[in-house]
Chain A
Amino acid sequence: MSLNDKLKDLRANGIDEAKRAERIQELNDLRVNLLGKKGPITKALRGMKDVPAEERPEIGTLANNVKQDIQSAIEEKMEELNRKIVAQKLEEETIDVTLPAQPSKYGTRHILNQTIEDIEEFFIGLGYRVDAGNEVEEDHYNFERLNIPQNHPARDMQDTFYLTDELLMRTQTSAQEGRDMESHDFSKGPLKVISPGVVYRRDDDDATHSHQFHQIEGLVVDKNVSMADLKGTLEALCRHVFGAEREIRFRPSYFPFTEPSVEVDVSCFNCGGKGCRICKYTGWIEVLGAGLSHPNVLEMSGIDSTVYSGFAFGLGPERFAMLKYGVNDIRDFYLNDVRFLEQFKGVN
């Protein structure tokens, strides 16, 4: 057999063997066996000396081609086998993604605090300070400074837990108004503050009453504060809390420490104002009380009521949360059943 034919034979066999290989090792062996220094190609080329000189370049080229072709066939097969191995590994590693994970729990903030914080952050964005105030308060700040003297009928509206004749559990976060007003330096700009916190009333606990609950008081005092400013502020609040499409309305009311005083209704977020069970078929839901600071209240803090005016509002986080999430019993907030608490994960 001529050297030429021998090389072509080797090529055909080599490529065939590479294609038939089933394992990487076989290919590596094949490479060493066919293309190595002791392999048949090298061996065959030793017969070069018997080839006439003019044919030698052709044979040389052929030998290189044969080596290359075998090499390519091995590499191609190698790649194919590698792909198979990866595919198999992936197949073996496939898991049931529907199996449950081990819990990596983030705790749930109490829904009342979520509600409070949402409102706090809204007002912080409008430049309000947050000042929590005291839960044990003097009668003076809780009543007298709010224009509610002894024997005022308004004291009937909120029966009070007294500690002594002078000390009581505050019945309203408005108790902070006097302290905020008298300590504010108006040369540094307007007073804008909200006071969130716990208040206490002498009530029997039932589905709609709790002897302890929360309030958020808001107070702005400056030279040009008007009823229109109060309306705009509460409009923005109600839209933030209850949805961008909400409207609000004012109804005249009475609080000793504001004049004029209003109750604020928000258009029903459930029915959009058409009337439903939640809004008792009125289209409106009462959400807070507000008004312009009573001149007596300003004057008692040493603020000239002919120059300055202010507005104040008070809202109940319990009521907000009950409305927004359909909580029917205020006691649920204080029983702290974790199944109740955890349903509010991430709502605010």
Chain B
Amino acid sequence: MKISVNWLKEYIPVTHTVDEMANKISLTGIESAPVHNGEGLDKLVVGHITSIKPHPDSDHLNITTVDVGEDEDKQIVCGAPNVANDQYVIVALHGAHLPEGKRIKRGKIRGEESDGMICGLDEIGVPVKYVPEAYHNGIYVFPEAVTPGTDALTALGLDDDMVDMDITPNRADTLGMRGAAWEIGATYDEKPSFTDAKIDESKVKENSDLTIEVENKELVPDFMVRVLKNVTVGESPLWMQRRLWNQNIQPVNNVIDAANYTMIEYGQPIQAYDLDKLENDSITVMNAHSGDKFTVDDGTNKVLNNNDLIVKSGDEILGLAGVAGGINARVTAETKNVVLESAVFDGAVVRKAAQRHDLRGDASNRFEKGVDNGAVSDALLRATQLVDENTNADEISQEIVGSYTEAKPTVIQGKISHINHLMGLELSSDEILNILDRLGFETKLDGDDLTVTVPTRRWDMSIEADVVEEVIRIYGYENLKGTLPAGMETAGGYSPKREFSNRLRNILLGQGMDEVINFALMNKQEAADFNVINTNYTKLLHPMTEDHEVLRTSLIPGLINNVAYNQARNNNDISIFEQARIFDRKDGVDRPKEVEYIAGAVSGNIAMDSWNTTAKAVDFYNVKAIVEELLSFANLDADFDYVATDKISNLHPGQTAEIIADGQAVGFIGKLHPDYQKEHSINDTFVFELNVDTLFGMEKRNVQAQTAPKYPSVSRDLAILVGKDIESGTLVKDIFANGGKYLSEVNIFDVYQGKNIKSNHKSLGYHLEFLNPEATLTDDQVEKAFDIIKDSLVQKFNVEIR
């Protein structure tokens, strides 16, 4: 809410600029910004039209003479339809600056001199929606005589300096000028003084015919009305109007304006109805029936449901409680008798109704954050006073109460020592009591025991911690010296699993892969593309877009999006990885397991064409090398098998392997299916994905140091011809199985298929290393082992030794 300094001055002395105030209020209470209205505007004065005649050369222009407080009246040509003699108007003099850099200059309009311009409010910076309806298409006319030559901005309040307070939801007590004065006053150690509302008691009549029924008093703890009879509805006085448009409220008439003015002053929304438009002599506050139709006072139609609280008379819905008045009982120029309502409605009900019907406004904003139930009656009295002053009613009813809840101040117990302790300060009890007094709280001290009695306007306060906050913020956070917690030493650190995944990540970084972060929410198609773990999807109840609807079951779709995004921008050579969670939801449970995965994608060249190298496109084995190094650094006591599979959809059926660790599937590696690549407009791409949680759960290698061998190794080369479907991995396993304890390494150095080789066969070359760390190996020992190896291969795989 914007706090007008002029208005604030009615309650507390103000000696600071709004800039200083905004800064100070921000540091002690509520985030605030200074507002300088009317900046850059000048030469705008009040003028009095002393004569008017039609422009001889126009059917809509008039020539006026205007007294602007100078020796001579000015002649100004005016095209507004509502211009008339004897009006007090806004005049932009020759040389005046208007908003958006507009400047007014003396000149001739169709041959007639025009020395300035008569303005509308919108032309001098008031947004049209806050300009009173009557002046929407034309000039603004002051509702009362103002001395010509007076600065028009001052007369209209448009040069008011203001402090715009951006409140947090707990500080709705400052959504009224009085509450704001308390807050700002406490900051500057100035207690505000207020004039009590007072009505003309002589007009008060004992009884009114109106009866009120509140059906659900829990949702409507306070509901009271007063009736004013035989009012004269018209325009509000200028002082009231200008304060309203400065609050971004459109002046309407002297009843509705008084109600709105009271809301700004007290923070308590007031609703006005035309008594004669009620269906009968009763008002009922109740829940709507689902399907009830309601027309808001701006003419929009709403269909209600049974969670909506409504104010009703007979079958007629007068308003949506705390949210909006209806069109039926609206106060208009013809209204003679008025009902003013002041109430407290349940915040949650109001909030939901306002959301549901898209009707959030000044009233609902206050009810949903809370209003002072100790001020409901006072605010009603004040509204009644203002309406009476504006409209000169004949008769005022007593307060008619539908529901009432006694407002009790909150009593908080605390200890001076504990308050200091929590702040990390050592303030004397006097200092603390003084601060609480500035806030208008009553205090009682008994040794260390403190009792604070908080007035109802600060309904946010309930416990000692709230007192701590009040004391420390008014004392000033800038006076607080920082310390570090002085408790027992603790050993911090990552969890073992996080240490493990950090290690895996470092290996991939070391392999030159860039790390990416993708969204966990994806579209259904993406999730279906790589549901490799074959789990149930976890879906949002109310997704915002189809793009982010389902939780991922694999990191691959995100990586593919990244490859596509980059390759579309000519970043063709991509090597990326992501380490994040996938969501694995078992049958019959709502909550998915969150499983850590690590996955990578490589596309394009891994070596570039350069002055001393030739380009090399990534292949399966480059990516396999990355995975193997990753797995070796995982330091697991397990053997890893790469098992060819054609079962993973969207991967190449001939270039994909499942990774099996001691019989347990831990991930896969493969080339994307050409169709899938085409669909996603990406080049040949290889991906891998590993389940970090599974790897982390596996037995670690138990490393016992061995002295590096002192004896030389002996090598043998083995060349064989074998059926082309037999996998090298199988052969190597067999070689190891038969090679004896001295066989230390088997490396394949040649794979050949084609010319000079039997069809359906391939030629393989292996390099075998034998090593005895204890002694020199004899040829005999090696030859024997080599023979066993060869025999087994011949027998089992029908190989030809070459």
Interface residues of A (CB under 8 A from B): 99-100, 102-110, 112-113, 120, 123-132, 134-136, 150-151, 153-154, 156-157, 161-164, 166-167, 169, 189-190, 192, 198, 200, 202-204, 211-212, 220, 222-229, 231-236, 249-254, 259-263, 292, 294-295, 306, 309, 333-339, 341-342
Contacts and interface: CB of A to CB of B under 8 A. Distances in A.
B656 interface: no
A211 B519 contact: yes
B566 A337 contact: yes
A269 to B, nearest CB: 18
Contacts, number: 260
A259 B485 contact: no
Contact of B351 (A108, A151, A309): A151
Interface in B493-544: 493-495, 498, 505, 508-521, 538-544
Nearest to A305: B465
A260 B469 contact: yes
A86 B26 CA distance: 77
B515 to A, nearest CB: 4
A163 B541 contact: yes
Nearest to A126: B492
Contact of B472 (A200, A227, A234): A227
B509 A212 contact: no
B517 A112 contact: yes
A309 B515 contact: no
Interface stretch (B571-579, B637-645, B659-667, B727-735): B571-579
A189 to B, nearest CB: 4
Interface residues on B, range: 35 or more
Contacts of B712: none
Contacts of B518: 334, 336
A157 B424 CA distance: 30
A322 to B, nearest CB: 15
B538 A163 contact: yes
A214 to B, nearest CB: 8
A113 B517 contact: yes
Nearest to B600: A107
A212 B558 CA distance: 14
Contacts of A105: 512
Contact of A125 (B348, B492, B539): B492
Contacts of A110: 514-517
A235 B337 CA distance: 63
B461 to A, nearest CB: 10
A227 B463 contact: no
Contacts of B755: none
A335 B565 contact: yes
Interface in B616-644: none
A164 B551 CA distance: 14
Nearest to B464: A295
Q: Please name the 4 residue pairs, one residue from A and one from B, whose CB atoms are nearest each other, closest first.
A: A228-B424, A232-B482, A226-B424, A254-B168
Interface string B599-614: 0000000011011110
Contacts of A342: 514
A339 B521 CA distance: 24
Interface stretch (B60-68, B80-88, B225-233, B589-597): B589-597
Given A107-B512, A338-B566, A339-B571, A100 B468 contact: no
Contacts of B590: 163-164, 166-167
B489 to A, nearest CB: 6
B604 to A, nearest CB: 11
A252 B569 CA distance: 46
Contacts of B425: 228
30 contacts: A99-B611, A107-B514, A112-B517, A113-B515, A123-B492, A124-B494, A129-B492, A130-B494, A136-B551, A151-B351, A153-B169, A153-B368, A157-B169, A162-B541, A163-B590, A169-B521, A190-B490, A198-B520, A200-B520, A202-B542, A204-B544, A225-B485, A226-B422, A227-B423, A228-B425, A229-B484, A231-B481, A232-B481, A338-B574, A338-B576
A253 B571 contact: no
B781 interface: no
Contact of A107 (B29, B31, B498, B515): B515
A251 B494 contact: no
B514 A229 contact: no
Given A212-B519, A227-B480, A341-B514, 10 more contacts: A128-B492, A135-B520, A190-B485, A227-B472, A228-B423, A231-B424, A233-B484, A259-B463, A261-B469, A336-B517
A104 B511 CA distance: 9
A338 B514 contact: yes
B566 A107 contact: no
